[in-house]
Structure 1
Amino acid sequence: MPHRAVIKIIEGRSFLTSTPEKSVRAVAAHMRDNRSGAVLVVAPDDGRLLGICTERDLTFKVLAAGLDASTTPVGTVMTCNPESIGPDRLFGHALHLMHEGGFRHLPVVIADGRPIGVISARDALGLELFDFRNELEQREALSEIL
């Protein structure tokens, strides 16, 4: 099922970015407004991936720690140097990395370190469930024939 390239999952889809000096409040509002669970934090000069800020980071590192979201830069609470994947890798590999690492968002980066998208655990629900349903229907049809 997960035999398609990551690029096929993310192509044509937008993703959120921020620079590290933006306030946590501004980043959280941007996530809310775009209904996204993660923001990729990039270097302002060349756009290379520096980190990722997720809903978990906001909950555990800001809210639970009692930090002021208006004055705390996202760069201080992001997950630095996150695991990432290249666009040519298989979606199944992305799922494996997320499962082994215990995270739900995986940046997709090109060779120079710039992000081109994000794979989410939610992606498995849509695309892979569709394939699974088709496979089940084929098996049921074969069972009826046999």
Structure 2
Amino acid sequence: MGVSVAASPPTHCFTITPEEPAAEAARLIAASRLGAVPVQDRTGRVVGLVSERDIVRVVATRAQGLRGLAVEEVMSRDAATIRPETTAGDALALMQQRDLRHLPLCGADGRLIGVVGLGDLMRG
């Protein structure tokens, strides 16, 4: 697949900061009907991703669920990111290697453009 991910418009996304309550991330995910929310620091740099799987893992293993937890305590910290020139094939390979369903799409300046989901790539 030689087509760049920019050919398949990324899903518009909401973002959240590491300090916000994890329950707010869960509300954003549910309200937006997306499977993940990028986590940005105060400079706008993507520092992680909180996904449905992250939320479910905490709820299933912690008696208090998300109560009292910040996003930084439930997010995946080493979020893989891609650039607009990344090919769809390379994005799919990265998703498969790391067992991911969502990849933050960042520009050359490191700023978030959107989120590319597995469904976006399969449609594109």
TM-score, with length taken from structure 1: 0.77
Moved over 6 A (4+): none
| Percent sequence identity over aligned pairs | 33
More helix by share: 1
Q: Where in structure 2 are the equivalents of 1:52-131 lying within 5 Å?
A: 52-60=49-57, 62-66=58-62, 67-127=64-124
Task: Give 3-state SS (helix, strand or coil) of 2:8's partner.
Answer: helix
Aligned residues: 123
- Name the Cα RMSD after superposition: 1.5
Where does structure 1 lack aligned partners over 5 or more consecutive residues? 128-146
CA offset digits 1:45-67 (Å, max 9, x no partner) = x100000000111111x212214
Shift of 1:102: 1.2
The code of the aligned residue for 1:77 comes to V
CA offset digits 1:102-141 (Å, max 9, x no partner) = 11111111223221111111123322xxxxxxxxxxxxxx
Where does structure 2 lack aligned partners over 5 or more consecutive residues? none
The code of the aligned residue for 1:114 comes to R
Q: Which has the larger radius of gyration?
A: 1
Task: Please say if residues 5 and 121 of structure 2, whose CA atoms lie closer than 8 Å, have aligned partners that are also in contact.
Answer: no
Pick from 36, 43, 52 the counterpart of residue 38 of structure 1.
36
